[in-house]
Structure 1
Amino acid sequence: MNSRSRWLMISVGLGVLLNPLNSSMISIAIPRLQHVYGLDFTVVSWIIFSFYIASAIAQPVMGKASDLFGRRKIFLAGLIVSFVSSLLAPLSPNFGWLIVSRIVQSIGTSMMVAVGMAIVRIHIKERQATALSVLSIFLSGAAAIGPFIGGVLIHWWDWPAIFAVNIPFVVASFLFAWRMIPKDEAAASVLHSMSFRKWLDLIDATGIVLFTVGLVALLVGLLSAKSSGHVSLGNIMVGLIGLVALGAFVRHELKTTSPFIPLRTFAKYPAMTWVNVQFMIVNVLFYALFFGLPSYLQMVRHVSEFHTGILMLTLGLCSLVASPIAGRWIDKSGPGPALLVSAILMTFGSVWIVTLDQSSPVISVCLALAAFGISNGLNSVGLQAALFQSSPKEIIGVASGIFNTSRYLGTILSSLLIGIIMGGTFSFGGFRLLGVFLTVIALLLVFMSWGHREARQLEES
């Protein structure tokens, strides 16, 4: 890889890491935001929901937009949007404005993730696999150390610092990207020949609106009922609106020529569908622990943000160490054994959560974190390999997009699970109940992994 390619990698990497970094740092800030704004746990959990819902929508939309406007323009625009949101978020007069800033931040960072891989694929010709693996390190590394960085920043400078820390990354990435990312002239001619209405049809604006309205309304209905302690007519009506909108979304996606989420692809390739379902369940488990454990440490065990961040570093380090080992193992044995071991580790970690009590040594949570961290490293490589095995080459781009959507749906469902179990107040009893639910889900994942492994062995024989 020549010098120009390395600088291009740095400029893109500094931009794409902002999405996972900001999605993970917030896990440490939830108790602090709950105290600052005087809100219950259910309301504060929307700081998580909003980011992942916006990311799930923005990434595929911005991927399509880059074909029209140009990947360089979308990348640079994403940096500007991220810069503005990082400046405005600490100035939010209330929690509602903070949510708006968080959504804007999600859209900006998603713009870079959506086109970052494409920029590397197009403009780095030599050792392309190595370049893509380096970019993956930026993504996974940022997610891994996010809680630690968040804990340090909140400990020394309070919660606004987790937004301000983005600014040097944005500025550095913008300066490098402006010089290093080549201009994409082809997009302009496509844009001039396409009307705005046709572009809306291309990105499936109707599907996006139905998906957003349905998901948000359903979440509001469920969480409001849990937070208030009773089911009101208003909760039922909002939930029904969500279900109707999601039903209309499914019907629309099956008919439209350019679907936001290509549902027919799932029916056509059941093996690929199975991988995506498994990936969604994995993310429900991982992010339920990822967001639940910091709140347990701070609100139940009264551990400081700084020490919570240090403990959470166990999760990220184990994941980073396990990933290259998983790569070599999967190259030799295929994804099946690694995915089965991963599911068993998640089951162990979930059971360990249930065994914790209010007098357990705080350091003992590292066992659960290590189990989930190693399993995350195995899953990140194993499920990607399983996706490549199950997806025909001609639809690998679509398959990758669906794969990312499954990730975000899993994170959204994990936040929903925590919100429903905890209600308005995070408690030790709720945390232990969360562990029971995670154990059941992890056992389901063990059976799925075992069944998938047996099916693959039958196919090969």
Structure 2
Amino acid sequence: MNARSRWLLISVGLGVLLNPLNSSMIAVAIARLQKVYQLDFTVVSWIIFSFYIASAVAQPVMGKASDLFGRKKIFLSGLVVAFAASLLAPLSPNFGWLIVFRIVQSIGTSMMVSVGMAIVRIHITKKQATALSVLSIFLSGAAAIGPFIGGVLIHWWDWQAIFLVNVPFAAMSFLLAWRNIPKDESSSVLPSNMTVREWLAWLDAPGILLFAIGLVAVLVGLLSAKSAGHVSSMHMIVGLIGILSLAAFVRHELKAEAPFIPLRTFAKYPAMTSVNVEFILVNLLYYSLFFGLPSYLQTVRHVSEIHTGLLMLSLGLCSLMVSPIAGRWIDKAGTRPALLLSGVLMTLGSLWLVTLSQTSPVFSVCLALAAFGISNGLNSVGMQAVLFRSAPKQMIGVASGVFMTSRYIGTILSSLLLSIIMGDAFNAGGFRLIGVILSFIAIILVYMSWRRREPMNQSEES
């Protein structure tokens, strides 16, 4: 790999890491935000919901928009948006404004993730697999060290620092990207004279709007009822609006020429549908621990932010170390053994959470983290391998986009589970109940892995 390619990788990598970094740093800040704004856990959970809902919508949208406006322009614009949001978030006069800036930050960082891989694929033609693996290290590494960085920043400064830390990364990436990312070619797969109406139809704006409204309304209805302690007519109306919006979304996607999520196409390939369902459940499990354990440690066990970050670092490091081993194993033995072991480890880790008490040694926490970390490393490689082997070559891009949306849905569901079980504040009994629920989900994943047949490589056949 020549010097030009290395600098391009660094430029793109510094930008794309901002999304996983900001999605993971917040895990250690939730308990602190509860104290600062005097809010219960259910309300503060919107700092997680908002980021992932915005990412679920923005990433595929911005990926499509880059075909019209150019990948370099979208990437640089994302850096500007993320830079501005990270500067303004610490100045938020209340929690509502913090959520607004968090959404803007999510959109900005999603703009870079959605086109970063494409930039590398297009402009690095030699040793492309190596280049993509390096970019994956930026993504997975940022997610792994996020809780540790967040813990250090909150310990020595305060929650505002987890936003301000983005500023130098965004500024440095902008300067490097401006210099090292080649200009977009003038030729485009889309006509340059598209009207606003045609552009919105191409992006599937109605589908995006129905998806976002439905998801937010269902979450608001459920969480509002939980906070109030009873189900009122208003809660039911909001929830019904959400359900009807999602139903309208499904109907619209089945008829749309360029759907946001191609439901009809996925129905033709059951293996792709199955792996997306599994990926939702995997992320529900993983992020329930990822977001739940830091609050449990800080609220119930009274562990400091910096020590919580250190403990959570073991989760990410186990995942990082296992990923390359999982790749070699899957190449030789296929996906089924690795995913089966992953399901068993998640089951054991979830059962271990049930045994935790206020007097449990730190070693017990590390065992659960190690089990989930190893399983996450196996899943990150195994699930993608199943997807690529089951997806036809002509729709691998669409399949990858929906795969990422499945990840966000699983993450949103994990936050919803934590909010419903915990309510006002974290407690040991609620955390054990979460462990029981996660154990049942993990057993389902073990069964699905056991029943899986090794998928034929659709990409090569098509």
**TM-score, length-scaled by structure 1:** 0.97
Distance in structure 1 (CA, Å) of the matches to 2:100 and 2:134: 32
2:43 is matched with 43
Instruction: Give, as a single letter, the amino acid of the residue that structure 1 aligns with 2:160.
Output: P
After TM superposition, list the pairs within 5 Å mapping 1:3-402 onto structure 2: 3-186=3-186, 190=190, 192-402=192-402
More divergent stretch after superposition (358-367 vs 114-123): 358-367
Instruction: Compute the displacement of 1:186 (Å).
Output: 2.2
Distance in structure 1 (CA, Å) of the matches to 2:454 and 2:210: 39
After TM superposition, list the pairs within 5 Å mapping 1:405-444 onto structure 2: 405-444=405-444
Instruction: Give, as a single letter, the amino acid of the residue that structure 2 aligns with 1:394.
Output: Q
| Contact map agreement 2:335 2:385 (CA 8 A) in 1 | yes
| Contact map agreement 1:67 1:187 (CA 8 A) in 2 | no
1:459 is matched with none
Q: Judging changes above 3 Å, is the alpha-carbon distance between structure 1 residues 356 and 453 closer, same or farther for their aligned structure 2 residues?
A: farther
Distance in structure 1 (CA, Å) of the matches to 2:208 and 2:391: 25
Instruction: Give, as a single letter, the amino acid of the residue that structure 1 aligns with 2:327.
Output: G
| Contact map agreement 2:335 2:454 (CA 8 A) in 1 | no
Instruction: Compute the displacement of 1:363 (Å).
Output: 3.3
Q: Judging changes above 3 Å, is the alpha-carbon distance between structure 1 residues 320 and 455 closer, same or farther for their aligned structure 2 residues?
A: closer
Instruction: Give, as a single letter, the amino acid of the residue that structure 2 aligns with 1:315.
Output: L
2:460 is matched with none
| Contact map agreement 1:11 1:176 (CA 8 A) in 2 | yes
Instruction: Compute the displacement of 1:192 (Å).
Output: 3.1
More divergent stretch after superposition (378-387 vs 425-434): 425-434
- How big is the alpha-carbon RMSD for the aligned residues of Structure 1 and Structure 2? 1.2
SS of the residue corresponding to residue 29 of structure 2 reads helix
| Contact map agreement 1:226 1:420 (CA 8 A) in 2 | yes
Deviations 1:143-199 (A, max 9, x none): 000000000000001100000111111111111100100111326794631111111
| Contact map agreement 1:335 1:386 (CA 8 A) in 2 | yes
Distance in structure 2 (CA, Å) of the matches to 1:405 and 1:330: 24
| Contact map agreement 1:69 1:188 (CA 8 A) in 2 | no
| Contact map agreement 2:389 2:455 (CA 8 A) in 1 | no
| Contact map agreement 1:337 1:453 (CA 8 A) in 2 | no
| Contact map agreement 2:52 2:411 (CA 8 A) in 1 | yes
Q: Judging changes above 3 Å, is the alpha-carbon distance between structure 1 residues 422 and 283 closer, same or farther for their aligned structure 2 residues?
A: same
Identity %: 76
More divergent stretch after superposition (445-454 vs 251-260): 445-454
| Contact map agreement 2:18 2:166 (CA 8 A) in 1 | yes
| Contact map agreement 2:42 2:419 (CA 8 A) in 1 | yes
SS of the residue corresponding to residue 62 of structure 2 reads helix
Q: Judging changes above 3 Å, is the alpha-carbon distance between structure 1 residues 21 and 455 closer, same or farther for their aligned structure 2 residues?
A: closer
Instruction: Give, as a single letter, the amino acid of the residue that structure 1 aligns with 2:368.
Output: A
SS of the residue corresponding to residue 108 of structure 1 reads helix
Deviations 1:118-159 (A, max 9, x none): 000000010001000110010000000000000000000110
Q: Judging changes above 3 Å, is the alpha-carbon distance between structure 1 residues 129 and 189 closer, same or farther for their aligned structure 2 residues?
A: closer
| Contact map agreement 1:343 1:375 (CA 8 A) in 2 | yes
Instruction: Give, as a single letter, the amino acid of the residue that structure 2 aligns with 1:130.
Output: T
Instruction: Give, as a single letter, the amino acid of the residue that structure 2 aligns with 1:132.
Output: L
Q: Which runs of 5+ in 1 are unaligned?
A: 457-461
Instruction: Give, as a single letter, the amino acid of the residue that structure 2 aligns with 1:33.
Output: L
Instruction: Compute the displacement of 1:430 (Å).
Output: 0.8
Instruction: Compute the displacement of 1:364 (Å).
Output: 1.6
| Contact map agreement 2:64 2:203 (CA 8 A) in 1 | yes
Distance in structure 2 (CA, Å) of the matches to 1:209 and 1:191: 24
| Contact map agreement 1:201 1:258 (CA 8 A) in 2 | yes
Deviations 1:423-455 (A, max 9, x none): 122211111111110001000110011011488
SS of the residue corresponding to residue 452 of structure 2 reads helix
Instruction: Give, as a single letter, the amino acid of the residue that structure 1 aligns with 2:27.
Output: S
Instruction: Compute the displacement of 1:362 (Å).
Output: 2.8
Distance in structure 1 (CA, Å) of the matches to 2:75 and 2:12: 8
Instruction: Compute the displacement of 1:361 (Å).
Output: 1.3
Instruction: Give, as a single letter, the amino acid of the residue that structure 2 aligns with 1:398.
Output: V
Provide the aligned length of Structure 1 versus Structure 2.
456
Runs of 4+ in 1 over 2 A off after TM superposition: 185-192, 453-456
Distance in structure 1 (CA, Å) of the matches to 2:455 and 2:158: 51
| Contact map agreement 1:145 1:313 (CA 8 A) in 2 | yes
Instruction: Give, as a single letter, the amino acid of the residue that structure 2 aligns with 1:423.
Output: G
Q: Which runs of 5+ in 2 are unaligned?
A: 457-462
**TM-score, length-scaled by structure 2:** 0.97
2:446 is matched with 446
Distance in structure 1 (CA, Å) of the matches to 2:322 and 2:399: 25
| Contact map agreement 1:69 1:191 (CA 8 A) in 2 | no
Distance in structure 1 (CA, Å) of the matches to 2:15 and 2:114: 11
SS of the residue corresponding to residue 183 of structure 1 reads coil
Instruction: Give, as a single letter, the amino acid of the residue that structure 2 aligns with 1:93.
Output: P
Distance in structure 1 (CA, Å) of the matches to 2:308 and 2:217: 33
| Contact map agreement 1:69 1:187 (CA 8 A) in 2 | no
| Contact map agreement 2:271 2:455 (CA 8 A) in 1 | no
| Contact map agreement 1:120 1:132 (CA 8 A) in 2 | yes
| Contact map agreement 1:254 1:264 (CA 8 A) in 2 | yes
